[in-house]
Amino acid sequence: MIHVSLPDGSKREVASGTSILEVAEAIGPRLFKDAVCAFVDGRLRDLRETLTTDCTLTLVTTGAPQALEVLRHTTTHIMAQAVKRLFPEVKLGIGPAIKDGFYYDFELSQTFSPEDLSRIESEMRKIVAEDLQIERMEVSKGDARSLLIRRGEDLKLELLEEIEGETMTLYEQGEFVDLCRGPHLRSTGQVQHFKLTSVAGAYWHADPTATMLQRIYGTSFFSAEELKEHLRRIEEAKARDHRKLGRELDLYSVHEEVGPGLAHWHPKGARIRHEIEKFWTDEHYRAGYELVYTPHIGRADLWERSGHLDFYREAMYAPMDVEGQEYFLKPMNCPFHIMVYKSRSRSYRELPIRLAELGTVYRYERSGVLHGLLRVRGFTQDDAHIICQPERIEDEIEKVLRFSIHLLSAFGFDELAVFLSTRPEKYVGDPADWERATESLRHAVEACGVEYTVKPGEGAFYGPKIDIDVRDSLGRSWQLTTIQFDFNLPERFDMAYVGEDGKPHRPYMVHRALLGALERFFGILIEHYGGAFPVWLAPVQAVVLPVTEEMNDYAEKVKQALVKAGIRAEAWSDRSRTLNYLIRQAQLEKIPYMLIVGEREKEEGTVSLRLRTEEDLGPRPLSEFVAMVEEKVKSKELL
């Protein structure tokens, strides 16, 4: 007999070899019905697994995130089974659950069409209707190999050889068998609400020299309402896609002639970037930072000393020869900021030193992962490094955290998720320093009064870190801010300051990026606002529309007055277009304000104000409109 400890503090005595499902049934029929998987001593387990030693047991029911992952993992097997029924010659790759759904990779000579996805969905519904029992089997590696050979699953055989141990798990439902760790639902009939969403190419093992597979994406939920809402968000995300809006609003472009992953900022996009950079710069000066500018290339010796050639070489571009010396495009700004610090001796009286730069860096990304502005090869990093005495580090971290929250809120990001990542298995530095640094991060987060989640072992090899994710208007999470300790570079570059005792001391160093890459941040902003930027960021804040050709002079006069007041304005006087057409065009371009001017407005010195949201606010003095815009810009309001 063994003892099973439950979350309520109670214990149950059961025979060794009892399945988790049997324990759930003994506790009660409701729990037996709702249980999806379980945590045994903190490890996620399948309900069909047996208990052989004393343990703690927490049953996971349909409301938990782990249950949704199990549902989606089961749906991938149903999809793979359907594909095998319709295309018997297909070979199976991998099929995991992912953040918003699942995918499965297939090797097939023909290309899946939209009609094929519909056929696969229909076959999946047949499999669900068959309510096939899902069986978990533990077999020897040799037996698993024999089964996969008989079935001609070459890709699965490769995976099998990569798995350590001599016991494998297989999952079987009807005629379908897959090599899988699980866990899974009990039968195919438990999967009811799903949708296949797209198909894309994917390299086997993410290796561009390997076989190109076809990846079918989908999603599933426990309720029809959740699925419907998810699909609605997908459609909304398509409408807000920054690549689509970037073309429509003439914000940026990428040209094959120049190279993929290299963004060209058009005048309107550049104007928004200018406003972001101006705000960023002003706020950094107010917060006690000093701005620097550093080169785009550096000698190989510098990158060898920093460790980038050892740890980051695959993301760096090939070196260039300059008078017999190797130079590299910079992937990061840190070594250059250290050079600024080391340009002369430093006293403790000067610390902390906060060096900030909007520095353009270059990192190699495979063409298959490039994605608009969200994944590029050349980008400008919102970068800064703080160098201070060890005893000042906690105060500095708290300041950075509060500063980050302030900056993010100015762009409309008020829903934040904060994560504290601790020491990984492989690290540099003294464990005592790691502990002190981690506690400094923890105290700083708690001092700011924000909730946070600890991610054990997920710090960088050179120090613990804080990450901040923001939630956009569609409820999606984006990782933006990162605040990272570094025990590595101060040692590698022999950084020092003269302390009160007149002796040299090693400073602490913190890397921090608050907005991340400007290109990526801009892409996120486009989708967050759906292209309808707040007044302070809008490339054109107001457009003056004359009712008749006779009003063109007055429209131009109004525009000039707005420009003189610092408002970004245009006057449209194309009489080949009707006023209604121009109003509609201004709305399509998402210009915040339309100022209609006719005979009455000219006589009274007013403008008739319309919003891009189609609200008509009627006539008002021009001075009143200017004051309103100035207030909206100051407060960072949307409209």
Which one, of 422, 424, 429, lies nearest residue 464 by Cα?
Answer: 422
Token duo for residue 11 = 């214990």
Q: Are strands 542-546 and 569-571 parallel, antiparallel or unpaired?
A: parallel
Token duo for residue 638 = 């949307």
Beta bridge partners of 463: 460
- pTM here? 0.86
Q: Please report the domains of the chain, with CATH numbers, ordered by start residue.
A: 2-61 (3.10.20.30), 66-240 (3.30.980.10), 260-294+349-529 (3.30.930.10), 542-635 (3.40.50.800)
CA distance 598 to 610: 14
Beta bridge partners of 60: 37
CA 495 and chain centroid, separation: 34
Residues with a catalytic annotation lie at 334, 363, 381, 383, 385, 465, 511
352 preceded by a cis bond (ω within 30 of 0): yes
Token duo for residue 61 = 């029911």
Q: How many CA atoms lie within 13 A of 543 on its CB side?
A: 23
pLDDT of residue 312: 85
For 417, residues 6+ apart whose C-beta sits below 8 A from its C-beta are 453, 468, 469, 470, 471, 477
Q: Give percent of the chain with pLDDT exceeding 90.
A: 87
Q: Identify whether the C-beta of residue 83 lies closer than 8 Å to the C-beta of residue 47.
A: no
Sheet containing strand 167-173, edge to edge, reads 134-140, 167-173, 176-179
Q: Over 80: is that where the pLDDT of 574 sits?
A: no
* Phi, psi at 131, each rounded to 5°: 50, 55
Q: Give percent of the chain with pLDDT exceeding 70.
A: 100
CA 115 and chain centroid, separation: 31
Helix axes 431-447, 393-410, angle to 10 degrees: 50
pLDDT confidence bin for 638, thresholds 50/70/90: confident
> pLDDT tens digits for 243-302?
999 999 999 999 999 999 999 999 999 999 999 999 999 999 999 999 999 999 999 999
CA distance 573 to 554: 11
Helix axes 267-286, 518-529, angle to 10 degrees: 110
> pLDDT tens digits for 384-415?
999 999 889 899 999 999 999 999 999 999 99
183 preceded by a cis bond (ω within 30 of 0): yes
Angle, CA 486 vertex, CA 485 and CA 490 arms, to 5°: 140
pLDDT confidence bin for 430, thresholds 50/70/90: confident
Which residue type is seen at 625?
F
Of 61-65, 104-108, 554-558, which range is least confident?
61-65
Which one, of 379, 255, 364, lies nearest residue 319 by Cα?
Answer: 364
Q: Which is more confidently placed, 359 or 488?
A: 359
Query: How many other C-beta atoms can be found within 10 angstroms of the C-beta atom of residue 195?
Result: 18
Over residues 365-380, the mean pLDDT reads: 91
Secondary structure in 3-state letters for 134-180: EEEEEEEHHHHHHHHHHHCCHHHHHHHHHCCCCEEEEEEECCEEEEC
